[in-house]
A and B are shown apart, each in its own frame.
Chain A
C-alpha cells in the first residue's frame, strides 16, 4: 500500500513537472509588467497585440505555416505511393528502400541540416524557401509512412482486387477503396508531419535569414539576446495551437492507447 501511495505521488509530481513550464509561459505572456514575470503581475493581452502588430513576427508566422503546409503536401505525395509499394508489392531492395525512408526519424536533425547546407551551397540551394522545403520533406515523410503502413493490411487486397475486376483503374481503386480505409492514419500522420515541420529548429537554422525566418528559429535567436513578454506571447500561441491539434487527433483516432485491457 505504501508503495502505491509513493507511485501515485511520484506520478502526480512528474505530471506537474511536465505541465509547469507550459503553464509558466502562458502565465508570463499575460503579465502587465515590461519584463517577464511569473506569477504574472496583473492580466493583459497587450503582448499578443505587440506580436500581431510586429511585421517580422507575422512574416515568420506566414513562412512557418506555408513551409509546413507545402512540406506536408509533398511528403504525402512521396509517402503514400511508397507505403502502397511497400505494403502491396515485393520488389528487390524493398527493405533498403523503407529503411532509408524511415531513417530520418532517428538521425540527428542537426547533422542533416549541416549536410543539406554543404550539399546545397554549390547548387545555390541555400537560404531560400526551396532549401527549407526539401529538408523539411525529408524529416516529415517518415512520420506519414510510419502511421500509414500499419493500416495497409493484407485483407484489404481482396477488396482492391474486386474493385479492379469490376473495371476500376488503379487510381480509382486507390481513391475509392484503399484511401477511405487508411484515412485516419493519413490524417494523424499529416498532422504529426505538419507540427514536426512547424516546430523544427535544428534543420531550419542553417537556411534561415533575417528576411526568411520561421517562428521557432526567430524565437531561438530572440531568446538568446533579450527576453520580454512578447516572446512568451508567441510561445503561448504555439502551445495553444498544439492543444488544438492534439484535440483534433484525439477526436479522429483516439489517444486512449495506454489503457489496460484487463
Chain B
C-alpha cells in the first residue's frame, strides 16, 4: 500500500505542481482581479458589463455569430459526414477526404482566415466569379461584415462537426436499420425514426463544441472584421493589450469562461444521457 502511495506521488507530483502553478493560480488571479477595484472587493466590473449597452451589443453579436455558425455547420456537416461514412465506397477517396478534412485543423487560424481575406476581397475570386456569372452587378462587401466573419468561422469549425457526427454515424448498429427495413419501413422512415435519433448525441456534442469555440474565437473575427465588427474575445484582448484594465478585462474573461464551461457541462450531460 505504501509503495503504491509513493509511486502515485512520484507520478502525480510534477504534473500537479505544474498545472497548479501555471494554470490554476493564473486563472484564480484573473478571478480575483475581476472582483477587485482600487484595492477593495466589488462587483462593479460585472455590473459595468451588465449596464453598458455597447457591451450588450458586442455580446449579442458574439452570441448571434456563435448560433448561426453552429446551425450552418450542422446543416453542411451532417450530409458530409453521412456521405463519408455511408456513401463513399472507394476507400482511397474516403482517406483523401479525411486527410483534407483534418488538414485545416493542422494549419493556423491565421493562414485559414488569410485565405478567406484573399477570396472575399472586393476583387477576390468570390466577387469576380459572381460578377462573371451575372449574379451581382457590384462587388458585395464581405470583409468587415458579420457575413464575412460567419463564413470564416463556419470554415474553421466545420471539420469538428463532420468528425463528431461521422464518428456517431460509424458507430450506429446497422442491424437495427436492417430490422426496420425488414419490418417494411421506407429508407426515409428508417432514417428519421432509427438512424437520425441514434446520431443525435454526436450532433449535439458537435454543436455545443462548435458554439463554445465560435463564441471564444479571436483570430478569425479579428482578421475578417477589419475592425468594423467587435466580438467578446476582441474586447478582452483590448483590455489586456491596450487599455491595461486587468480588473475589467478579468470580468470579461470570466464571463466568457463561465459561458464556455456552461456549454461544456451541457455537452457532457447530453452525451451521458445519450450513452444510456
Residues of A in contact with B (beta carbons under 8 Å apart): 3-4, 6-8, 10-11, 14-15, 17-22, 24-25, 28, 36, 38, 77-79, 81-82, 84-85, 89, 91, 97, 100-101, 104, 106-108, 110-112, 114-120, 134-135, 137-138, 141, 170, 195, 198-202, 205-206, 215-216, 219-220, 223-224, 227, 231-232, 235, 238-239, 242-243, 245-247, 250, 255-262
8 contacts between A and B (CB under 8 A): A10-B76, A24-B119, A110-B218, A134-B22, A219-B111, A220-B110, A246-B106, A258-B170
Asked if B269 is at the interface of the complex by the 8 Å CB criterion, the answer is no
Identify the stretch in B38-46, B50-58, B83-91 within 8 Å (CB) of chain A at 4 or more residues: B83-91
- The answer to whether A21 and B119 have CB atoms under 8 Å apart is yes
- The answer to whether A108 and B99 have CB atoms under 8 Å apart is no
User: B residues within 8 A CB of A114?
Assistant: 30, 236-237, 240, 249-250, 253
Residues in B132-186 with C-beta less than 8 Å from chain A: 155, 158-159, 163, 166-167, 169-170, 174
Using A22-B103, A81-B14, A106-B264 as known contacts, say yes or no to A258 and B22 having CB atoms under 8 A apart.
Answer: no
Using A14-B76, A255-B98, A260-B85 as known contacts, say yes or no to A119 and B29 having CB atoms under 8 A apart.
Answer: yes
Which of A38, A112, A118, A137 interacts with B118 by CB under 8 Å? A38
- CA gap between A117 and B33 in the complex, in Å: 13
User: A residues within 8 A CB of B94?
Assistant: 256, 258-259
Asked if B109 is at the interface of the complex by the 8 Å CB criterion, the answer is yes
- CA gap between A54 and B108 in the complex, in Å: 21
User: A residues within 8 A CB of B101?
Assistant: 15, 18
Residues in B183-225 with C-beta less than 8 Å from chain A: 188, 212, 216, 218-219, 222-223
User: A residues within 8 A CB of B77?
Assistant: 14
- The answer to whether B24 and A100 have CB atoms under 8 Å apart is yes
Distance to closest chain A CB from B250 (angstroms): 7
- The answer to whether A223 and B110 have CB atoms under 8 Å apart is yes
- CA gap between A82 and B87 in the complex, in Å: 41
Residues of B in contact with A (beta carbons under 8 Å apart): 4-5, 7-8, 10-12, 14-16, 18-19, 22-27, 29-30, 33, 76-77, 79-87, 91, 94-95, 97-104, 106-112, 114-119, 124-125, 155, 158-159, 163, 166-167, 169-170, 174, 188, 212, 216, 218-219, 222-223, 233, 236-237, 240-241, 246, 249-250, 253, 256-257, 260-261, 264
Number of A-B contacts (CB under 8 A): 269
Interface of B is mostly: helix
- CA gap between A189 and B223 in the complex, in Å: 30
Apart from A135-B22, A258-B84, 11 more pairs, CB < 8 Å: A11-B84, A22-B107, A84-B11, A108-B256, A114-B236, A116-B26, A232-B118, A256-B91, A256-B98, A258-B167, A261-B174
Residue of B nearest to A16 (CB): B100
- The answer to whether A25 and B80 have CB atoms under 8 Å apart is no
User: A residues within 8 A CB of B99?
Assistant: 243, 246-247, 250, 255
